[in-house]
């Protein structure tokens, strides 16, 4: 075991961490302008150069984007989404969809293994919201509720890294190929699989949970074709 004491973080790194937290928490929403440079200097109690260095770091990471003469805006709440978008062009969007499905398959199996009552309640709430949105013909709300449902499935796995990866892929898909994300609402009918998925997780049946994910995503693939 090494006795070497790691150097303390640079001030700009601390500012980056604070700014990331403001973005991820929603205090600085995606699409909104962040505080001006003088405001950030006052908020963090640091110099202009430190603020500029932190902003540049988050621009390079894809979380912020400058607009000439109009300030700096939040581009993404997920650093992984920006990295994924850089690695995958629209021509490879089906690979993104395949990666999304692979994560959901593993997450569903893990969720069913744990079968946590609170997580199951979350899944049922998300499913109900999706069905209610579709019943009133609000396809935009249905699409968002369906995204929330699948995010809840991944969260139920208890694996934080899978949650981050899933969120990054979904956000990258929303930016690059929204047709993939919206495909669940194309035919105006509730896609098969979600009800079966909730039942499988509640029954602690990993195999049935995987089968339900296949049912959900194979339906979307057929719509895209």
* Domain edges within the chain: 11-77, 81-224
Residue ranges for the chain with pLDDT beneath 70: 1-2, 6-7, 88-92, 177-190, 223-225
Can you give the pLDDT at residue 158? 92
Which is it for the CA torsion 133, 136, 138, 139, positive or negative? positive
At 225 the pLDDT is 61
Six-digit token pair at 150? 């699948």
Cβ atoms 174, 100 nearer than 8 A:
no
Tokens for 125, please give them.
Answer: 């709430």
Q: What is the predicted pLDDT for the residue at 66?
A: 92
Residue with tokens 């896609």: 191
Which pLDDT belongs to residue 89? 61
DSSP for 129-173? HHHHHHHTT-HHHHHHHHHHHHHHHHHTTT-HHHHHHHHHHHHHH
H/E element, 122: helix 117-135
What is the residue whose two structure tokens read 């300030």? 71
Contact 143, 181 (CB under 8 A): yes
Q: Indicate the length of the chain as a whole number.
A: 225
Tokens 């047709």 belong to residue: 179
Distance of alpha carbon 186 from alpha carbon 115, whole angstroms: 31
In this prediction, residue 41 carries a pLDDT of 95
| β-strand partners of 66 | 72
pLDDT reported for residue 61: 84
Q: What is the pLDDT of residue 217?
A: 84
Evaluate whether the domain defined by 81-224 bears CATH number 1.20.120.530.
yes
- How far is Cα 174 from Cα 15, in angstroms, rounded to an integer? 28
Class of the domain covering 11-77: mainly alpha
């Amino acid at each position: 075991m090494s006795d070497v004491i790691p150097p303390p973080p640079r001030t700009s790194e601390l500012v980056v961490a604070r700014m990331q937290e403001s973005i991820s928490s929603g205090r600085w929403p995606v699409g909104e302008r962040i505080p001006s440079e003088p405001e950030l200097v006052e908020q963090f109690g640091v110099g202009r150069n430190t603020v500029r260095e932190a902003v540049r770091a988050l621009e390079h990471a894809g979380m912020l984007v400058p607009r000439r003469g109009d300030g700096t805006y939040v581009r993404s709440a997920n650093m992984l989404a920006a990295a994924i978008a850089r690695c995958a062009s629209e021509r490879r969007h089906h690979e993104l969809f395949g990666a999304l499905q692979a994560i959901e398959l593993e997450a569903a199996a893990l969720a069913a293994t744990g079968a946590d009552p609170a997580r199951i309640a979350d899944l049922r709430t998300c499913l109900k919201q999706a069905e209610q949105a579709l019943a009133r013909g609000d396809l935009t709300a249905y699409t968002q509720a369906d995204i929330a449902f699948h995010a809840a499935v991944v969260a139920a796995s208890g694996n934080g890294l899978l949650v981050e990866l899933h969120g990054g892929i979904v956000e990258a898909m929303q930016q690059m190929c929204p047709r993939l994300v919206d495909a669940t609402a194309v035919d105006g009918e509730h896609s098969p699989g979600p009800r079966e998925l909730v039942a499988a997780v509640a029954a602690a049946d990993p195999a049935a949970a995987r089968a339900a994910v296949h049912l959900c995503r194979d339906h979307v693939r057929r719509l895209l074709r």
